[in-house]
Amino acid sequence: MKSLHDLHRPLGATGLQVSPLGLGTVKLGRDQGVKYPQGFSIPDDFTARQLLGLARELGINLIDTAPAYGRSEERLGPLLRGQRDDWVIVSKVGEEFELGESRFDFSPAHARRSLERSLRHLETDRIDLLLVHSNGDDLAILRDSGVYETLAEFKREGKIRAFGLSGKTVEGGLLALEHGDCAMVTYNLAARGERPVLDYAAAHGKGLLVKKALASGHACLGTGIDPVRASFELIFAHPGVTSAIVGTIDPLHLAHNVAVAAETLRSPG
């Protein structure tokens, strides 16, 4: 079975070592207000535990969650019990999802409450990477809200290992990398506009996570050459990419994605 165990790489200068594929967990916690091409049912605990076990077996050690992903954090705490040191956990602050609607709060006080709740839900004393969950106003959030300085404080307090921005703009991604450890950007076959952030990450040795690597599944609707392979060839060809976070609740998709990522990284181009 192809695995990613020997392909772990540094997340910028954070000291964290992560697999080139991470597991996105929106679908473990939330089925409202999502933009996937097909409907789905949130997996039960047995199925979710099997999926996480398979991910670990295949060499994935990076997992991405957020308070805005419904019950994702709350479920991951018990599901990952006893395995804390096997995972690099990414979570976020700033977005809340309640009664089917997103609401944003980038105040330092909210960030602190949110972090304490994430630690409680995830049953841990540290989050490895905490990202600002942007609503798109990246520059205003970073410059005016005080949230980024608060994340830097959390890092000094030892509550998080690293921080950054999950943003939507090039300017935001660049500023986030200048003053932080990592940016999470959209980069896929249909959306390459944030590429300058990847270039900056490569030039300055920063962490860079790709979200929506498969365009939230829309890349997989076409026929012809394997869209996963085409997507990963694009993404992993860029030296700035640390890891692509792919959301799946299908074990066959997970195994296929790992196999294709391993092949792409072992024989690039």
Interface residues with ligand NAP (CB under 6 A) are 24-27, 36, 64, 133, 166, 184, 211-217, 220, 228, 245-250, 253, 256-257
Q: Is the dihedral of CA 173, 178, 180, 181 positive or negative?
A: positive
The least CB distance from residue 23 to ligand NAP, in Å, is 8
Nearer to ligand NAP, 115 or 184 (CB): 184
Which residue's CB atom is positioned nearest to ligand NAP? Answer: 24
Rounded to 5 degrees, φ, ψ at 88 are -100, 115
CB nearer ligand NAP, residue 8 or residue 27? 27
Give residue 90's region: left, alpha or beta (phi > 0; psi -120 to 50). Answer: beta
Give the separation between CA 234 and CA 101, rounded to whole angstroms: 33
If the CB atoms of residues 241 and 246 are measured against ligand NAP, the closer one turns out to be 246
Give the whole-angstrom CA distance, residue 103 versus residue 101: 7
Least distance from C-beta 111 to ligand NAP, angstroms?
15
Least Å distance, CB 68 to ligand NAP, is 8
User: Could you tell me the smallest distance in angstroms from the CB atom of residue 257 to ligand NAP?
Assistant: 5
Write the single-letter amino acid at 186: T
Task: Decide whether 97 or 200 has the Cβ nearer to ligand NAP.
Answer: 97
* DSSP-H helix ranges across the chain: 26-29, 45-57, 72-79, 108-121, 138-144, 147-157, 170-179, 195-204, 227-236, 251-266
Task: Give whichever of 202 and 230 is closer to ligand NAP, judged by the CB atom.
Answer: 230
Q: Check: CB of residue 12 under 8 Å from CB of residue 21.
A: no
Supply the minimum distance, in Å, between the C-beta of residue 6 and ligand NAP: 22
Residue 243's CB is within 10 A of a number of other CB atoms, namely 30
CB of 129 to ligand NAP, least distance (A): 12
Give 136 or 203: the residue with its C-beta nearer to ligand NAP. 136
